[in-house]
Amino acid sequence: MRTIYLDNNATTMTAPEVVEAMQPFWTELYGNPSSMHTFGGQVKRHIDQARRQVAALLNADPQEIVFTSGGSEGNNLAIRGSLDALDGLKKHIITTRVEHPAVLGVFRHLAKHGYRVTELPVNSDGSLILDALESTLTPDTALVSIMWANNETGVIFPIEKIANLVKSMGVILHIDAVQAAGKIPIDITRVPVDLLTISGHKLHGPKGTGALYVRKGTKLVPQVIGGHHEHNRRAGTENIPGIVGIGMATELALNGLDEENTRVRALRDRLQRGVLAGCKAAQVNGANRLPNTLNVSFQYVEGEAILLLLDNLGIAASSGSACASGSLQPSHVLRAMGIPFTSAHGSIRFSLSRYNTEEEIDLVIKHLPPIIDRLRELSPFVEDELPV
| DSSP character string of 7-63 | BTTT--PPPHHHHHHHGGGTTT----TT-SSHHHHTTHHHHHHHHHHHHHHHT--GG
Residues 64-93 that bind ligand PLP (CB under 6 A): 70-72
| Cα separation of the two ends of the chain | 34
Q: Which residue lies nearer to ligand PLP by CB, 47 or 180?
A: 180
| DSSP character string of 124-153 | TTS-B-HHHHHHH--TTEEEEEEESB-TTT
Residue ranges of alpha helices (H) inside the chain are 16-22, 38-41, 44-58, 71-86, 101-111, 130-136, 159-168, 229-232, 240-255, 257-259, 265-278, 303-312, 332-336, 341-345, 358-378
Q: Which residue lies nearer to ligand PLP by CB, 176 or 360?
A: 176
Task: In whole angstroms, give the CA distance from residue 197 to residue 180.
Answer: 10
Q: Which residue lies nearer to ligand PLP by CB, 211 or 307?
A: 211
Q: Which residue lies nearer to ligand PLP by CB, 141 or 209?
A: 209
Using CB under 6 A as the binding rule, whether residue 100 contacts ligand PLP is answered as: yes
Q: Report the residue closest to ligand PLP, judged by CB.
A: 71
Among 33, 154, 206, 210, binds ligand PLP (CB under 6 A): 210
For ligand PLP, which stretch binds (CB under 6 A), given 197-205, 267-275, 294-302, 353-361? 197-205
Using CB under 6 A as the binding rule, whether residue 305 contacts ligand PLP is answered as: no
CB of 103 to ligand PLP, least distance (A): 7
CB of 369 to ligand PLP, least distance (A): 29
Q: Which residue lies nearer to ligand PLP by CB, 71 or 291?
A: 71
Cα atoms in the 13 Å half-sphere on the side-chain side of 297: 23
CB 203 within 8 A of CB 184: no
Cα atoms in the 13 Å half-sphere on the side-chain side of 184: 21
Q: 293: phi > 0 → left, psi -120 to 50 → alpha, else beta; which?
A: beta
Q: Which residue lies nearer to ligand PLP by CB, 210 or 320?
A: 210
The residues near 51 (Cβ < 8 Å, ≥ 6 apart) are 62, 63, 65, 67, 247
Q: Which residue lies nearer to ligand PLP by CB, 8 or 141?
A: 8
Task: In whole angstroms, give the CA distance from residue 34 to residue 235.
Answer: 12
- Three-state DSSP state, 298: strand
Residue type, 118: T
Using CB under 6 A as the binding rule, whether residue 295 contacts ligand PLP is answered as: no
CB of 337 to ligand PLP, least distance (A): 16
* Catalytic positions: 323
Ramachandran angles phi, psi of 202, nearest 5°: -90, -5
Cα atoms in the 13 Å half-sphere on the side-chain side of 21: 25
Among 151, 218, 319, 353, binds ligand PLP (CB under 6 A): 151
Q: How far from 91 is each of 113, 141, 144, 171, CA to CA, in Å?
A: 10, 7, 12, 12
Using CB under 6 A as the binding rule, whether residue 241 contacts ligand PLP is answered as: no
CB of 35 to ligand PLP, least distance (A): 29
Task: In whole angstroms, give the CA distance from residue 171 to residue 134.
Answer: 12
Using CB under 6 A as the binding rule, whether residue 293 contacts ligand PLP is answered as: no
Q: How far is CA 213 from the centre of its chain?
A: 15
Using CB under 6 A as the binding rule, whether residue 172 contacts ligand PLP is answered as: no
Among 43, 178, 296, 365, binds ligand PLP (CB under 6 A): 178
Q: Which residue lies nearer to ligand PLP by CB, 104 or 305?
A: 104
For ligand PLP, which stretch binds (CB under 6 A), given 80-88, 176-184, 250-258, 362-370? 176-184
Using CB under 6 A as the binding rule, whether residue 202 contacts ligand PLP is answered as: yes
Among 6, 98, 110, 147, binds ligand PLP (CB under 6 A): 147
Using CB under 6 A as the binding rule, whether residue 179 contacts ligand PLP is answered as: yes
Using CB under 6 A as the binding rule, whether residue 102 contacts ligand PLP is answered as: yes
CB of 175 to ligand PLP, least distance (A): 10
CB of 202 to ligand PLP, least distance (A): 6
For ligand PLP, which stretch binds (CB under 6 A), given 34-42, 199-207, 345-353, 364-372? 199-207
Contact residues for ligand PLP (CB under 6 A)? 70-72, 100, 102, 147, 151, 176, 178-179, 199, 201-202, 210
